[in-house]
């Protein structure tokens, strides 16, 4: 039988050879002392390994749309020429050496109140002070994420400025040669902060009811969609649940996804959590696929699913049963950058290997 996971998918004019993709994963490997937010050889190696490993679509780590939007001082950006030049080198490498007509997209982001944080392997937690290269974070209000410095509440002009920054970064992404763009509206970062009733207590047009809280995310969608080619698909990552009482839930996420689709989003990348520290997540294999399935079914939009999907069988089941249109692999890909080559073999699909590696191809004996 033909594999559902290894069947093609077309988003606008972008044809993906199969439905096994790389989820965005921050590497915290830029070198702020010499080049703020500029991807390095580490990023080339990291993303390039997935290209030679058979992934059909690679999404980069979150690329901040302005300096204050970086999660940490070691995070990447796409807001200046030096960053764009480095990303171009990586995009060209992926297109040249990919084994499955590999495509690559960037994830545009602003960390909001979670910005200027220490990177995971720094040995420290919380907000990086100015003396160590940090900066003052911003958010919808002054409420801080647990253990972080309080942000400044954004003014209306600052909000409009962030929308303009997403537009400028989207234009750079097109110039760099990315095949698609994903807007990061999940995991407790700025757009999700505005969306979540657990964080956004504004009473102006950017807060209040659900329409007001969704306004910034949808305004960014509208603005980015307007400046990228009509042929380029636009993706949106959301947290389908805050996993906390009174927060975003699956029903609200269906409504958001439907509105985003009506504005030109072609696929919703469904994750969850990250808004507040007191979340309670029942983590387990495939624990988020139900959200993806519900959004796909009720919002009428294509979805991707992610979260402890580690085996070829799990990924195949998610696509074959209509829970998602694509599966994004993260930690499993770090353990095995050639995950897609192995998965194709296990599912009986012939996926091209790099010619340099063909001597290592497993041979079927049945």
Task: Quote the CA–CA distance of 67 and 79 in Å, as a whole number.
Answer: 8
DSSP state of 162: H
3-state secondary structure the chain: CCCCCCCCEEECCEEECCCEEECCCCCCCCECCCECCCCCHHHHHHHHHHHHCCCCEEEEEEEECCHHHCCCCCCCECCCHHHHHHHHHHHHHHHHHCCCCCEEEEEEECCHHHCCECCHHHCCCCECCHHHCCCCCEECCCCCCCCCCCCEECCHHHHHHHHHHHHHHHHHHHHHCCCEEEEEECCCCHHHHHHCCCCCCCCCCCCCCHHHHHHHHHHHHHHHHHHCCCCCCEEEEEECCCCCCCCCCHHHHHHHHHHHHHCCCCEEEEECCCCCCCCCCCCCCCCCHHHHHHHHHHHCCEEEECCCCCCHHHHHHHHHCCCCCEEEECHHHHHCCCHHHHHHHHCCCCCCCCHHHHHHCCCCCC
Burial class (CB in 10 A: 0-12, 13-18, 19+), 296: buried
Query: Which single residue is written with the structure tokens 């160590």?
Result: 132
Return the structure tokens found at 324.
């998602």
Angle between helices 312-320 and 339-346 (to 10 degrees): 70
Note whether 353 and 340 are within 8 A (CB).
Answer: no
Catalytic residue among 28, 189, 287, 357: 189
* 189 is a catalytic site residue: yes
Query: Which residues are the active-site residues?
Result: 189
């Amino acid at each position: 039988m033909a594999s559902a996971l290894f069947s093609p998918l077309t988003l606008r004019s972008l044809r993906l050879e199969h439905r096994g993709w790389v989820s965005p994963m921050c590497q915290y490997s830029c070198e702020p002392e010499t080049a703020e937010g500029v991807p390095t050889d580490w990023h080339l190696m990291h993303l390039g390994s997935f290209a030679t490993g058979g992934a059909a679509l690679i999404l980069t780590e979150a690329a901040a749309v302005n300096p204050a939007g970086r999660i940490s001082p070691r995070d990447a950006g796409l807001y200046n020429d030096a960053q764009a030049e480095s990303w171009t080198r990586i995009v060209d490498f992926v297109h040249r050496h990919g084994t499955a007509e590999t495509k690559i997209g960037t994830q545009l982001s602003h960390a909001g109140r979670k910005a200027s944080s220490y990177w995971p392997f720094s040995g420290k937690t919380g907000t990086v002070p100015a003396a160590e290269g940090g900066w003052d974070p911003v958010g919808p209000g002054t409420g801080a994420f647990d253990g972080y410095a309080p942000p400044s509440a954004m003014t209306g002009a600052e909000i409009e400025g962030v929308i303009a920054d997403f537009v400028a970064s989207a234009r750079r992404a097109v110039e760099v040669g990315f095949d698609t763009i994903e807007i990061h509206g999940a995991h407790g970062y700025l757009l999700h902060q505005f969306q979540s009733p657990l964080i956004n207590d504004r009473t102006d047009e950017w807060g209040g009811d659900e329409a007001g809280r969704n306004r910034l995310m949808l305004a960014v969608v509208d603005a980015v969609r307007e400046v990228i080619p009509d042929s380029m698909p636009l993706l949106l990552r959301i947290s389908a649940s805050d996993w906390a009482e009174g927060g975003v839930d699956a029903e609200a996420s269906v409504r958001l996804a439907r509105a985003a689709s009506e504005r030109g989003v072609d696929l919703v990348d469904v994750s969850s959590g990250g808004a507040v520290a007191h979340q309670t997540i029942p983590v387990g294999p495939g624990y988020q696929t139900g959200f993806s399935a519900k959004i796909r079914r009720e919002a009428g939009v294509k979805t991707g699913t992610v979260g402890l999907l580690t085996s070829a069988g799990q990924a195949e089941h998610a696509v074959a049963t209509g829970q998602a249109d694509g599966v994004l692999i993260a930690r499993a890909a770090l353990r095995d950058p050639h995950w897609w080559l192995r998965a194709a073999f296990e599912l009986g699909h012939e996926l091209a290997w790099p010619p340099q590696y063909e001597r290592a191809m497993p041979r079927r004996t049945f």
